[in-house]
A and B are shown apart, each in its own frame.
Chain A
Amino acid sequence: MASGSSEVAIIPALNEAQRVGAVIADLRKAMPGLDVVVVNDGSSDDTEGVARRAGATVVSHPYRLGYGAALQTGYLYALRSGYARALQIDGDGQHDASLAPQLLAVVRNGRADIALGSRFLAGGKVAMPLTRRIGSATLKRLGRVLAGIACTDPTSGFRAFDRATLALLASEDFPHDYPDMDVLIRLRFAGIRIAEIPATVRERSGGTSMHSGLRPLYYAYKVALASVMAALRGRRAQRSSV
C-alpha cells in the first residue's frame, strides 16, 4: 500500500493524457487519503507521465491488452498490495469522482460486496446515445432472466468492490475486452451481493470511445453470448455442489 490506506482507486486508461490528470485530481479532492493506481493499457500518448505527475502509481502494459485486461491488472495490483477495498473509475472523466466516497461506503459498511454507480436510479443523470441505451436495457433484461439480477445499470464502469469480490475478478475467467453483465452473472452465482447508488455519467469530452464504429454490434453479440454461458456454468456449478 502506497500510503497506508486500505482502499485504492483503479483507473484503466488508454490514450487519456488529456483527461486522466483531472480524474485523479477530482478523486484526491473527494477522498484525499485514497491511493490511486492508473493502469496504462499501452497508450501511445503521455498517459503514463501525466498520471505519475498527478501523484498516481502507474502500472503500464507493454502493449494494448484491452479494457478488461487493464481492469484485471488493477484488481491484481489491489489484491497483491493488500487493499481491503477497491474503487473502479474510468480514465476519460465520464464518472463523477465526487461520488466515490458514497460508492465505497456501500461496500465498507457491508451493505453489499460490489456497488455500482447507476445512471438510471433516481438522482442519477443519463447522457448516453440511443444505441447504448437500447443495449443497456437488453442486458438488464438478460441479467434478470438468467440470474435474477435486478440492477439498473449493468454497463456502469463506476464500481466498488470488497476483497473477496476482487479475488473472484482476478481469477482466470475474466474477459479481456468487455467485462459486463457476464461478470455480474458470474459474481451472482458465486454468492456476491450487488447494490447500486445513483451516479451521473457525462458524455466523453474527447478521445475515442471503446464503443465507437462497428464495435457496438460485436459488443452486443459478445456480452449476450458470454452472459448466457456464465449463467449455464453457474447453474451447473450450483447443481454439482448440491
Chain B
Amino acid sequence: MIDTSQLVPLQLTPLQQAAAIVAATLLFVSILVLIYRRRLGENYGAMWFLVGLVTLIAAIWQDGLRLVARALDAVTLTAPLFLLSILFLTAIAVHFSVKLSEQAQQVKKLAQEVALLREQAELKEDSA
C-alpha cells in the first residue's frame, strides 16, 4: 500500500509525461523496425523493449516514480530517472564489454582452426 503523504510532492508536468510516453513509443517502434529489417536480433531487442516498458510505466504510474524518489532521498522526480538511466547504461556497457571479450576469443579460436585446417588441406594436396 502506498502512503501518499510520504511521497515526494512533485509530479511530471503533462508535457514531460507526454514526452516520456512518446519517447517510449518511438523506442518500441524503432526496435520493431530494426528487428523486421534483420538489423537487430530478437535477443538484444528484449533489452530495449524492457527499457521502453520501464519508461512507459514511470511516465504513467507517477506514484511509483515518487516512491523510488523517496527511497533515494531525491528532491525531484527526474533525479531517480537520471540515476536509473546512468545505472542502466553502465550495465549495458559492461555487458557489451563482456560480449566483445567473448567474441574476440571466439574469433581467435576460429582463425586458429582455419589455419590448422588449411595446413592439413595443403598437406593432403601435396601428398596427392
Chain A interfacial positions (CB closer than 8 Å to B) = 62-63, 173, 177, 218, 221-222, 225-226, 229, 232-233
Contact = CB atoms under 8 A, between A and B. Distances in A.
23 contacts: A62-B106, A62-B109, A62-B110, A62-B113, A63-B106, A63-B109, A173-B38, A177-B43, A218-B43, A218-B46, A221-B42, A221-B46, A222-B42, A222-B43, A222-B46, A225-B35, A225-B42, A225-B45, A226-B42, A229-B35, A229-B36, A232-B36, A233-B36
Contacts, number: 23
Interface string B94-120: 000000000000100110010000000
Q: In the complex, which of the residues A218, A221, A225, A226 has the most CB atoms of chain B within 10 Å of its own CB atom?
A: A225
A218 B45 CA distance: 11
Interface string B1-44: 00000000000000000000000000000000001101000110
Interface residues of B, number: 11
- Top-9 shortest CB links A-B: A222-B42, A62-B109, A62-B113, A225-B42, A229-B36, A226-B42, A63-B106, A229-B35, A221-B46
Contacts of A222: 42-43, 46
Nearest to B112: A62
Contacts of A232: 36
Nearest to B113: A62
A3 to B, nearest CB: 22
Contacts of B45: 225
Nearest to A217: B46
Given A62-B110, A173-B38, A229-B35, 17 more contacts: A62-B106, A62-B109, A63-B106, A63-B109, A177-B43, A218-B43, A221-B42, A221-B46, A222-B42, A222-B46, A225-B35, A225-B42, A225-B45, A226-B42, A229-B36, A232-B36, A233-B36
Contacts of A62: 106, 109-110, 113
Contacts of A173: 38
A233 B36 CA distance: 7
Contacts of B38: 173
Nearest to B110: A62
Contacts of A233: 36
Nearest to A232: B36
B95 to A, nearest CB: 15
B90 to A, nearest CB: 23
A226 B46 CA distance: 12
For B36, B42, B46, which residue has the most chain A Cβ atoms within 10 angstroms?
B42
Contacts of B113: 62
Nearest to A175: B42
A225 B31 CA distance: 11
Contacts of B36: 229, 232-233
A137 to B, nearest CB: 21
B26 to A, nearest CB: 18
A63 B111 CA distance: 13
A221 B31 CA distance: 14
B75 to A, nearest CB: 37
A33 B121 CA distance: 29
A59 B45 CA distance: 31
Nearest to B106: A63
Interface string B33-68: 001101000110110000000000000000000000
